């Protein structure tokens, strides 16, 4: 017969495992969120998709479209006569805030306007080159020629 103090019981092992789990959870929560660039990648993908959608709408309607960005985010507008109005497509009409991913042009300007005419040509004659910069220093670039938007590189 075995002596009672020869080892540990299953209950003791389970109690130790629960304590280790609780301590590991507390340490994990105290570290806080780690930004791995997920926000930047998500915003770049979303912006690329919206630029492509705006180009599709220009192809269908023949209306000039403007992509307008500032330090808070971006929006799309269409030209009706001499006036610029919010885009008629609800997805593009609402201003989109980009917390954690600020758009800038190659000169570093935090605000600007890129207009594509009804023939899907940039009014400036030069494709848009936009950089999205995250708070953690990561960045990615998006190129839009009036027809197609692509992410040039990823973080």
Pair 128, 114: CB distance under 8 Å: yes
Asked if residue 54 is part of any domain, the answer here is: yes
Asked if residue 80 is part of any domain, the answer here is: yes
Domain count along the chain:
1
Put simply, whether the predicted model's pTM sits higher than 0.85 gets the answer: no
Asked if residue 25 is part of any domain, the answer here is: no
> Can you give the C-alpha Rg of the chain in angstroms?
26
Give per-residue pLDDT as tens, 122-131: 998 999 999 9
Distance CA 14, CA 73 (A): 51
Distance CA 125, CA 1 (A): 92
- Which residue segment(s) compose the domain that 66 sits in? 38-153
User: What's the confidence (pLDDT) of residue 32?
Assistant: 66
Beta bridge pairs of residue 74: 69, 96
Pair 82, 88: CB distance under 8 Å: no
Q: What CATH number does the domain containing 65 carry?
A: 3.55.40.10
Asked if residue 138 is part of any domain, the answer here is: yes
Asked if residue 29 is part of any domain, the answer here is: no
Give per-residue pLDDT as tens, 65-101: 999 998 888 999 999 888 999 999 999 989 999 887 8
């Amino acid at each position: 017969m075995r002596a009672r103090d020869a080892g540990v019981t299953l209950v003791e092992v389970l109690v130790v495992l629960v304590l280790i789990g609780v301590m590991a959870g507390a340490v994990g929560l105290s570290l806080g969120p780690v930004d791995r660039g997920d926000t930047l990648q998500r915003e770049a993908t979303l912006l690329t998709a919206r630029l492509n959608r705006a180009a599709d709408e220009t192809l269908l309607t023949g209306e000039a479209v403007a992509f307008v960005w500032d330090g808070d985010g971006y929006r799309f507008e269409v030209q009706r006569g001499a006036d610029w109005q919010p885009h008629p497509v609800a997805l593009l009409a609402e201003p989109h805030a980009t917390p954690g991913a600020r758009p800038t042009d190659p000169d570093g300007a935090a605000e600007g306007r890129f207009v594509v005419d009804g023939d899907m040509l940039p009014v400036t004659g030069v494709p848009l080159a936009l950089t999205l910069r995250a708070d953690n220093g990561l960045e990615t670039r998006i190129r839009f020629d009036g027809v197609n938007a692509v992410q040039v590189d990823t973080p």
